[in-house]
Amino acid sequence: MITLDKSAAVMNIVTTYEKVQGDPVHTGIWTITQLTSPENVYAEIPAKSALADGYTNLGQGPLFEMSREADRVRIRRDPKRSTMIGTDGNWLFWTGNGISLKIERTSTPPANADWPDKGTRLHVYTNPDNQPYIEMEVMGALTTMKVGDKISSSNRYTLSHENQAKQ
């Protein structure tokens, strides 16, 4: 379900999976947003992160122009190779061309949830110059679904002029 705010550049999306047939499956909702190459991308690091550095490298090589800040990590796209980083936060923030986009998880995951990819809840994937784009990915908690089960995940997308998008 998609809803648009009537007075602001805000979109809310609720994604629901329903298991209608077959054997049980261990799965989660994974929301991927592809964007043009940014100036910067930020991923939240919560105050009580379960990850040793607040983030983890999910790619094959070292991260490119990455810096850790108080409550976030800043990622730049590597022009030569793809990279991927994960955090256990709840928001991602993209800046470029005078605008910004914030994606926030608005649903509350179950307590003691099982998470994919080393316990991450957010991913930022960057692609090299042959196709210069990035992906901002919000992971859902993993659950075993059997016929009749439903799971949902909600995210809010807020688009604004960069100078109005103080984080």
DSSP bridge pairs for 95: 40, 100
- Residue at 57: amino acid letter: N
Q: Among candidates 121, 133, 108, which has minimal Cα distance to 33? A: 133
Q: What is the pTM of this model?
A: 0.92
- Residue at 157: amino acid letter: Y
Q: What is the pLDDT of residues 20-76, one digit of tens each?
A: 999 999 999 999 999 999 999 999 999 999 998 999 999 988 888 899 988 999 999
Scanning 57-144, the segments in alpha helix (DSSP H) are 116-119
Between 11-25, 108-122, 139-153, the lowest mean confidence (pLDDT) is in 108-122
Average pLDDT, the chain: 93
Q: What is the pLDDT of residues 7-30, one digit of tens each?
A: 999 999 999 999 999 999 999 999
Q: CB neighbours (10 Å) of residue 84?
A: 19
